[in-house]
């Protein structure tokens, strides 16, 4: 499932193609993946793209029909937006070849670049259909759609994380996966962050002391930043906006490595179920609290 680093990599690779570009057409092939106004206006036809913003695992494409001659780039509340959830297998990318002939292509936008006489196509593809499109004004996105999400994990600090975890009876693994606590972390980077912070995944979140919270906040930021630099992790379906795979899966310390040796201490990594998810941890580096 694409997590924060994968969605951020999509955003960064799409920006050069889309900022300042005008959406000329939209072809929605599956109505059931679109929520809100799924008309041409809702899908930003006729609008110029002024911003791509991400929060957690969600990406917003923001468009305006009121661009000045000098090119307005500041986002305003009444600008329209499409929020894309990639779900388990979603892909959002610029057409490179025969992608339109592939199965599970659900929406196609024809886009004309800011200083170009040619058009390109932006494709949303989702084989498992756990993702989708949500449309509305930007003020709705930030005032309603994203209000149930916690702070963005990429910039979390110890003070904010401590307040989010205070009094929680969840395991720390469950808390990291809870998007209302912290937006952007999924199973991959929860395991990676806990290993970096030397925390057992079944530790009660509200019982963490200041030093542990500080280590964890730093570990989350570092795990996500390194993954972003590597273009994310491609385990199966994920591709960035240019259709390229990520490289972080080659560098993961614990995720997907149950039974193999810990890179830090050489102990065999354990595998179990925590928060209803397969979880990998080191019994030496991540000792359970007694």
CA distance 154 to 5: 9
Q: Name the β-bridge partners of 107.
A: 28, 124
Strand ranges for 29-104 from DSSP E = 34-35, 48-55, 58-64, 80-85, 91-94
Q: Is there a contact between 281 and 270 (Cβ–Cβ < 8 Å)?
A: yes
Supply the residues annotated as catalytic: 2-3, 57, 277
DSSP string, 87-141: TTT-EEEE--SSGGGSTTEEEEEEEE-TT-SSEEEEEEE-SS---EEEEEEHHHI
- What six digits make up the tokens of 202? 């079944």
- What six digits make up the tokens of 109? 């936008």
Q: Is there a contact between 45 and 23 (Cβ–Cβ < 8 Å)?
A: yes
């Amino acid at each position: 499932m694409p997590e924060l680093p994968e969605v951020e990599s999509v955003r960064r690779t799409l920006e050069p193609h889309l900022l300042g570009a005008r959406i000329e057409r939209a072809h929605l092939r599956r109505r059931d993946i679109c929520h809100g106004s799924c008309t041409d206006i809702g899908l930003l036809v006729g609008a110029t793209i002024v911003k791509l913003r991400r929060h957690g695992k969600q990406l917003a494409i923001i468009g305006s029909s009121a661009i000045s001659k000098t090119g307005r780039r500041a986002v305003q509340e009444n600008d329209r937006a499409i929020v894309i959830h990639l779900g388990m297998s979603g892909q959002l990318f610029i057409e490179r070849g025969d992608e339109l002939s592939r199965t599970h292509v659900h929406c196609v936008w024809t886009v004309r670049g800011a200083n170009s006489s040619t058009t390109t196509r932006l494709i949303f593809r989702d084989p498992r259909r756990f993702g989708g499109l949500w449309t509305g004004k930007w003020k709705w996105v930030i005032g309603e759609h994203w209000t149930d999400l916690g702070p963005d994990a990429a910039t979390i600090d110890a003070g904010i994380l401590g307040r989010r975890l205070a009094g929680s009876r969840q395991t720390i693994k469950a808390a990291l996966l809870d998007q209302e606590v912290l937006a952007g972390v999924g199973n991959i980077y929860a395991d990676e962050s806990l290993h970096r912070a030397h925390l057992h995944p079944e530790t009660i979140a509200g019982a963490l002391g200041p030093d542990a919270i500080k280590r964890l906040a730093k570990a989350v930021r570092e795990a996500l930043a390194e993954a972003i630099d590597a273009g994310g992790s491609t385990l199966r379906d994920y591709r960035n906006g240019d259709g390229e795979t990520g490289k972080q899966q080659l560098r993961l310390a614990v995720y997907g490595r149950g039974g193999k040796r810990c890179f830090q201490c050489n102990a065999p990594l354990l595998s179990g179920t925590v928060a209803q998810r397969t979880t990998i941890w080191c019994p030496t580096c991540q000792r359970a609290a007694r």
